[in-house]
């Protein structure tokens, strides 16, 4: 499954990326329900909410995910960086 991730920081589009790391919408939903924060572009982001939108066959991807966050701090702090998981730092469960 090809998903486009749209990261919003304080309601402004901050970063976009695509991924094939998720096989189903259920695995994507489970992942975002488990995490509280993650690192994007060296900034620790707190997850506030997310929305998964299915797309019609006219698109080159299956879904869009709008991810709403607030920045917590710069990840250059050793303590913060060691306590955060990189985005997609997870193992798929069978």
pLDDT at 74 over 80: no
Q: What's the domain count of the chain?
A: 1
Mean pLDDT calculated for residue range 68-80: 65
Residue 91, in any domain of the structure: no
Residue 23, in any domain of the structure: yes
* pLDDT tier at 82, thresholds 50, 70, 90: low
Mean pLDDT calculated for residue range 69-91: 56
C-alpha 86: how far from chain center: 10
The mean predicted confidence, pLDDT, of the chain is 78
Residue 89, in any domain of the structure: no
Tens-place pLDDT, residues 12-47: 998 899 989 888 889 889 988 888 887 887 788 889
CA distance linking residue 65 with residue 56, whole number of Å? 14
Residue 16, in any domain of the structure: yes
Give the range of the structural domain holding residue 23, as residue numbers without chain letter.
Answer: 3-83
Q: What is the DSSP letter of 93?
A: -
CA distance linking residue 40 with residue 63, whole number of Å? 20
Decide: 72 and 46 in contact? Cβ < 8 Å: yes
Q: Which two tokens stand for residue 57?
A: 């066959």
CA end-to-end distance (rounded Å), the chain: 16
Q: What predicted TM-score, i.e. pTM, was given to this entire model? A: 0.71
């Amino acid at each position: 499954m090809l998903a486009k991730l749209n990261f919003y920081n304080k309601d402004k589009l901050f970063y976009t990326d695509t991924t094939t790391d998720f096989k189903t919408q259920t695995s994507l939903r489970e992942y975002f329900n488990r995490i509280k924060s993650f690192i994007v572009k060296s900034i620790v982001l707190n997850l506030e909410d997310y929305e998964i939108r299915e797309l019609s066959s006219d698109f080159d991807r299956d879904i869009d995910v709008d991810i709403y966050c607030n920045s917590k701090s710069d990840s250059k702090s050793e303590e913060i960086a060691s306590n955060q998981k990189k985005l997609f730092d997870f193992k798929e469960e069978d």
